[in-house]
Amino acid sequence: MRYIVTGGYGFIGSAVIRQLIASGHDVFNLDKKTYAANPNAVSGLDVQNVHACITDRPAVEALFKAARPDAVIHLAAETHVDRSIDGPSAFMKTNVDGTFCLLEAALDWWQSNERDEAFRFVHVSTDEVFGDLGPDEPVFDEHTAYTPSSPYSASKAASDHLARAWQRTYGLPTLVTNCTNNYGPWQNAEKLIPTVIRKAVLGAAIPIYGDGQNIRDWLYVEDHARGLIQACSAVPGSTLLFGARAERTNLDLVKAICAVLDEIRPKASKYEAQLEFVTDRKGHDRRYGVDPSSAEALIGWTPERSLEDGLRETVEWYLANLDGDLLDADDRLGLART
- Give the active site residues: 127-128, 152
- The Cα angle at residue 84 between residues 83 and 86, in degrees rounded to 5: 65
Pairing of strands 174-179, 120-126: parallel
Q: Kindly report the number of other CB atoms within 10 A of residue 302's CB atom.
A: 12
155, 95 Cβ separation under 8 angstroms: yes
Would you give the end-to-end CA distance of the chain in angstroms?
50
CA-based nearest residue to 141, from 217, 84, 81: 217
Residues 6+ apart with CB under 8 A from 231: 120, 122, 175, 177, 238, 240, 295, 299
Calpha distance 285→142 (Å, rounded): 19
225, 12 Cβ separation under 8 angstroms: yes
227, 299 Cβ separation under 8 angstroms: yes
Calpha distance 28→50 (Å, rounded): 7
31, 51 Cβ separation under 8 angstroms: yes
Calpha distance 250→217 (Å, rounded): 10
Q: Is 52 exposed, middle or buried (0-12, 13-18, 19+ CB in 10 A)?
A: middle
